[in-house]
Homo-oligomer: A and B are copies of this chain.
Amino acid sequence: MLDPVSRVRRFNRAVTSAVGALDTSFLGRGRPLGAARVLNAIGHGRSDVGEIRDYLGLDSGLMSRLLRSLEDEGLIETQVHEDDARRRVASLTGAGKREFAAYEDLSNSQAEGLLARNSQREVLLAAMDLIASALTRDRIALNEMDPRSDEARHCLAEYYAELGRRFKQGFDVSLSRDPDAKDMRRPRGSFIVAMSDTLPIGCVGLKGTDHGYAEIKRLWVAPSARGLGLGRRLMDNAEEAARSLGIALLRLDTNSALPEAGQLYRTTGWREIPRFNDDPYPDLFFEKRL
């Protein structure tokens, strides 16, 4: 009753019935679940028939028939793929878009209902983020992105907020040497965002300089995704990006108020060096030769 496994199983039972309720509301639109799932996959931007089939785990015969039934309803259209005439791409018609929007409304109002019933919204959301990250840890994708993208800006805002909480004196970006976005774009550098499904949960920047080395900046992992080895994966990716840019020497600065970061650097081949800049926040400096 109280052991960890029972607690996980209680959680499973609770969410199974919540998930079942959403399926029931989908059925309320008068279409079998299989067809509804295909329609929603297309609505969410999956156009390639083979991709949808893989994503939903469907047999090709079944997939074909579901597409036909959605076509008969006038909700989708299919065309041959422009690069490969064997493949087909599906898209929503006007009616399909309206129908997809109706499913979206159902999903959204289920989510809103769940939040509205609960007085501790933020606590509940944090718990959901944590669990979603843990369950999908094998599907976390590391993507090179523009440091000005919404995803990157979200990560940076969270990163600054966390420094503000953890540094005794707080943190003010304008006092720090905020890296220029163009230094973290190819060919000078890179910016990598870890995405779990649609949520950015971590980032790292590789900032090119004119001093014969590049710097690692803004390494951040969302609290809900800690303990999954994501920091190390991000650093590995950043080093890989540096190698691909022909960079042979990396440096970074950090603060002893972030002990888990220092620990990570020390165990992955970085060595401590003397201060190499005059930024007021860092008190620890590292270097790694690739």
Contacts and interface: CB of A to CB of B under 8 A. Distances in A.
A136 B14 contact: yes
A130 B123 contact: yes
Contacts of A200: 1-2
A108 to B, nearest CB: 5
Contacts of A47: none
Interface residues of A, number: 56
Interface in A10-41: 10-19, 22
How many copies of this protein are present in the complex? Answer: 2
A274 interface: no
B151 A1 contact: yes
B125 A7 contact: yes
Contacts of A124: 130-131, 134
A4 B127 contact: no
Interface stretch (A110-118, A181-189, A236-244, A251-259): A110-118
Contacts of A4: 111, 115, 121, 125
Q: Would you list the 10 A-B pairs with minimal beta carbon distance, nearest first? A: A127-B127, A8-B111, A11-B128, A120-B227, A119-B227, A14-B132, A14-B135, A5-B111, A11-B132, A15-B15
